[in-house]
Structures are given as structure tokens and as C-alpha cells.
Structure 1
Amino acid sequence: MQHFIDLMKDCLGEIKEIFPWDLEEWFEEGKELMILDVREPYEFDAMHIPNSINVPRGILESACDYDYEETIPELVQAREREIVIVCRSGYRSILAASSMQRLGYEHVYSLKTGVRGWMEYEQPLVDTDEKPVDEDAADEYFSVRLRPEQMSSHYKK
């Protein structure tokens, strides 16, 4: 049986990852990027990279094509654009980049370390009203809160 981490490792060989400092450099160079945040709307509303768009991972594939309720025309038309995919820590974005490549997107990158790494690299985050997010609030938000039953020691083989 494969686990989530195994699935991600399988996808790593086929996708490109960048670090927060690479993304910062691209912004400074004025590259025309689409920043695609694949977290859930409540995560995006709490904090996100400025000027990013939110398409939750669960509807990504249908959002990338016409004739679906989830279709996002800007995303459908971006097959040849450079797209940086972000999530909380860089895991869901790996799976999203893999899917998008299979759908014909030519220049997709997963942000290694995700929004958490972007915050730790001291880059700006904004809330749903596009107001800057306080660094202490971001630290608190990204604190791991696993319940005991979510930990691997409870996994029965």
C-alpha cells in the first residue's frame, strides 16, 4: 500500500520545484507569472501570496478545462504561461503540478515549502481583504496541530 508521501515522491521526478527565493527573484525580474494557490478557500482567505488566484485542489482538473461549472477561463487559457503552484507546505502543489502537466500545461512549478516557506523566508502574505498578515499571526496559523489519532503511532498495519 502506498502512502501520501510515496505518491508525492513518485510525482517529484516529473515536475519542477522552485524555492521561495527563486519566486522572489522572478517577481523582482518582473516575470509574468500566474500564482495558483490550490489550498481550500478558508486557507486562502486566512493568508495567501499577493495577486494569487485560488483554485482548490479538489476541483483543479475541471477548472483547467471548458464546459464545467468549475471552469476558470483565465486558467484554461494559461497552458503556455509560467504558473507557480502553491499550497500550505509544498505537498499538494506537487500533485497539482503533475496533474496540470498531464493536462498540457508546459511551464508549471511547485513552490517547495509552500506558503509556510514563503512566510518563513519573510515574504509578504495578505488576507482575504488584501491586507498584510501579521508575522505572529502567520506563525500561529502554521503551527502543527495534530490530534493523537492523526499520528502514525495509531496506524494499524
Structure 2
Amino acid sequence: MKSYQTLVDEALKHVPEIMPWDLRERIEQSEPPMLLDIREPEEYTAMHIPGSVHVPRGILEAAADWGFDETEPRLAGARDREIVVICRSGRRSALAARTLQELGYARVQSLKLGVRGWNDDDGPLEDADGNAVDPEEADAYLRVKVRPDQMGPADEA
């Protein structure tokens, strides 16, 4: 049986990653990439990279194609555009980027370290109202909060 991390590792064999500081440089160029945030709605509402397009992972396939209730025209029309997929840590984005590749998107990358890495590199974040998010508040929000019961059973000797 494969684990979540195994799926991510397999996706990353095909999906290039971009570091937050490199993305900041790319955004400032004349033809910046599309920033595609695939996190859940409450995550995106709390904070996101300014200018990013929000398409939750759960509807990505339909949003990336024409003719569906979930179609996001900016994404469906961007098959030849450079796209950087964003999540909290870079795992979900790797899987989503691989899915986009399978749908024919050739210029797709995953933001390594995700929004957490972006914030650590002092990249700007904004909330749903366009207000700047304090980096320390963002750090607290983005911190891993795995509970003991989520760690799984202890290995027996």
C-alpha cells in the first residue's frame, strides 16, 4: 500500500519545483506565471499570495477543463501558460501539478515549501479583503498542528 508521501514523491519525479525566492523573481518579470492556489477555501480566505487564482484541489480537474459548473476560465484557458501550483507545504501542490500535467498542461511547477516557505522568505500574504497578513500571525496559522491521535499506532517491538 502506498502512503501519502509515496504519492508525493512519485509526482515529484515528473513535476519541477520552484523555490519561493525564485518565484518572487519570476513574478516581477514581464510575463509572470499564473499562481494557482489549490488549498481549501478557509485556508485561502485566511491568507494567500496576492494575485493568485483559487481553485480548491477537490474541483481541480473540472475547473481545468471547459464545460463544467466548476470551470475556471482563467485556468482552463491557460494550458500553454506557465503555472505555479501552491498549497501550504508543497505536497498537495505536487499532486495537483501532476494532475494538471496529465490533463495536458505542459508548463506546471509546484511551489516548494508552499505558503509556509513563501512566508518564511518574507513573501507578502493578504487575506480575503486584500489586507496584508502579519508574517508572525501567518507563521502561527501555517504551523503544523498534528495531534497525537493523528500520528498512528506506535510500532510494537
How high is the TM-score relative to the length of structure 2?
A: 0.95
User: Counterpart of 1:98?
Assistant: 98
Give runs of aligned pairs for residues 137-156 of structure 1, distance below 5 A.
137-154=137-154
The offset of 1:154, in angstroms, is 4.9
* Structure 1 position 153, deviation (Å): 4.1
2:64 is equivalent to residue 72 of structure 1: no
What is the SS of the residue equivalent to 1:110?
Answer: strand
Give the root-mean-square deviation of aligned CA atoms.
1.4
1:31 & 1:152 partners in 2: Cα distance? 45
The percentage of aligned residue pairs carrying the same residue is: 51
User: How far apart, CA to CA, are the structure 2 residues paired with 1:34 and 1:90?
Assistant: 16
The whole-number CA distance in structure 1 between the counterparts of 2:89 and 2:21 is 15
Does residue 121 of structure 2 align to residue 121 of structure 1?
yes
The alpha-carbon deviation at position 109 of structure 1 amounts to 0.6
Q: Distance in 1 between matches of 2:57 and 2:98?
A: 12
Unaligned runs of 5+ in 1: none
**1:14 maps to which residue?**
14
Alignment partner, residue 31 of structure 1: 31
Shift of 1:155: 7.9
What secondary structure does 2:58 align onto? helix
Q: Partner amino acid for 2:134?
A: D
| Cα deviation, residue 145, structure 1 | 1.4
Within 2, Cα distance between the matches of 1:154 and 1:132? Answer: 42
* One-letter identity of the residue aligned with 1:101: Q
Name the structure 2 match of 1:40. 40
Q: 2:61 and 2:155 mapped to 1: Cα distance?
A: 31
Letter aligned with residue 36 of structure 2: L
